[in-house]
Amino acid sequence: MEPTGNHIIEITQKRERWGVYFKAMILVVLIGLLGIPTLFIDSLISERQSRRAETIEEISGKWGRGQTLAGPLLTIPYKEMYRDTSGKGYWVRKYIYVLPDVLKTHSVLKPEVRYRSIYEVAVYTSEVLLEGRFDLLGIDGLGVPRNNILWNEATVTVGITDLRGISEQVSMKWNGAHQSFNSGLPTQDVFGRGISSHVDLSSNSSSNSTYDFFLQLQLRGSEYIRFTPVGKITESWVRSSWTNPSFDGTFLPTKRTVSNNGFEAYWKVLHLNRSYPQMWLNDAHTLTDSDYGLSLMLPVDQYQKADRSIKYAMLFIGLTFLMFFFLELINGKLVHPFQYLLIGLALCLFYTLLISISEYLNYNIAYLIASSMTIGLITVYSASVLRARNLALMIGSTLVLLYGFIFCLIQLEDYALLLGSIGLFLILAATMYYSRRIDWAALTTKAG
């Protein structure tokens, strides 16, 4: 029996309805497949970040890396008697470490930006003055006999992270007398790298004496400078013409002023605020977890922002596909899966455009250019595919809102969760609003 005209129409309708479900599944698969190029783009961002880090390391290695200045510290050797199993005695050299009672540092940073290819690094030359006073009152409380202390072999040591940053000879006034510094340390119990100067304390070994010091450093570095609060009372002043400082470390400035002309900052740290005492023996303590200072932040980190933006790539692709799919169902327009794939690739290409342009221009301008190119391409292509200018304009307007939404999320990092939650709620509400025009029950009934 040959099928009648009604049977042919019914079969055709069933095929059309099942075709809708099949196409929906194809779109889900396409979205998953488009996650592959986004992973490659994410890897590209990481590669560019690594390249930038290598450039910073290369420039810093020749100029001077980030500097942490610790000291001065008074290192006094002493000898202690030990006996072996046979009862024979022998002397072992050990050390007393004394921190200054008062330490004041005055620093002036002269920053500049160095370029290598398309990358830039913030470097500086600093003039650092350190002045203060050592007080040996209480050294007897360490339990070392005075006769065992080698007063004439004491040294003043200063810890410096990168010795290549020292640009001038370092000298010191010690109780009014000039002392010169040499590279190297008598021991590495406290500092890994630094400079030292011999001082003779033998003339005052029988009394509790105070020693005033004053020294000046010309120090080059990059990205950051930090200080270790070794004084019983440590006060630090830093000023510079750099307009984007980031104050970091264990202690924030007590006072600070940042303007278009630069910044000034002041720290005051007491010995009660840290975990190590004013005097100790050998390697009982280290000067860790108490540094403070600042970083010379560059205004824009385009790779970090690009990395944050690509996290929304799958959301972008999914919402765009959903919009086209709804237009198919509501307006009866046909979009081929291959055309969906081209639209998805255009959305992925946005991120490569963003990364490449932002390496030469301001990130915000790069975002505007890349998003305008992507939105324009998809809008023109939609007008050709759907053959409806009003629908293409609606798609373009929706993409403008989506890209604007993501841009706001990237800029407002502190409020990203709040804005993102509200934005996703509004997107869901809009999806529910437009989906109500689709008769899903009719699709199911006719398909069955």
pLDDT band at residue 14 under the 50/70/90 scheme: very low
What is residue 236's predicted lDDT score, i.e. its pLDDT? Answer: 94
pLDDT mean over 92-121 = 87
Three-state DSSP string of 283-311: CCCCCCCCCEEEEECCCCCHHHHHHHHHC
pLDDT on residue 275: 87
Helix extents (H) in 169-229: none
> Closest Cα partner for 42 from 303, 232, 255?
303
**64-299 in CATH: which number?**
2.60.40
Predicted confidence (pLDDT) at residue 444 exceeds the cutoff of 80: no
Higher per-residue pLDDT: 316 or 294: 294
| pLDDT tens column, 129-181 | 999 999 888 888 888 888 888 988 899 999 998 888 888 888 899 988 888 89
List the chain domain ranges.
12-51+303-447, 64-299
pLDDT classification of 413: cutoffs 50, 70, 90? low
Token pair 């980031």 is found at 246
pLDDT of residue 432: 75
Burial (CB < 10 A; 0-12, 13-18, 19+), residue 56, is buried
**Cβ-based neighbours of 432, under 8 Å, separated by 6 or more:** none
Rounded-to-10 torsion of CA 338, 342, 347, 351: 130
DSSP structural state of residue 317: H
* Cβ-proximal residues to 412 (8 Å cutoff; 6+ apart), any chain: 419
**Ramachandran assignment for 87, one of left (phi > 0), alpha (psi -120 to 50 degrees), beta (any other):** left
Rounded CA-CA distance 302/298 in Å is 11
d(CA 347, CA 372): 12
Q: Is 365 helix (H, G, I), strand (E, B) or coil?
A: helix
Cα separation of 259 and 141, whole Å? 49
Question: In which band, very low, low, confident or very high, does the pLDDT at 13 lie, cut at 50, 70 and 90?
Answer: very low
Going by the DSSP 8-state scheme, the letter that residue 243 receives in this structure is S
- Minimal CA–CA distance to 142: which of 195, 91, 74? 74
Spatial distance between the Cα atoms of 231 and 290, rounded to a whole number of angstroms? 12
What's the mean per-residue pLDDT of the chain?
82
Selection from 278-292, 302-316, 416-430 with the highest mean pLDDT: 278-292
Instruction: Report the SS3 class of residue 114.
Output: strand
| Phi, psi values for residue 284, rounded to 5° | -65, -30
Q: What confidence tier does 12 reach under pLDDT thresholds 50, 70, 90?
A: very low
CB-count exposure of residue 430 (10 Å: 0-12, 13-18, 19+): middle
* Residue among 215, 157, 166, 159 nearest 186 (CA): 157
Q: What per-residue confidence (pLDDT) applies to 441?
A: 52
- Token pair 């030292």 in the structure block, residue: 196
Mean pLDDT of 74-80: 90
Q: 246: which residues sit within 8 A by CB, 6+ positions away?
A: 294, 295, 296, 297
Residue 370 DSSP symbol: H
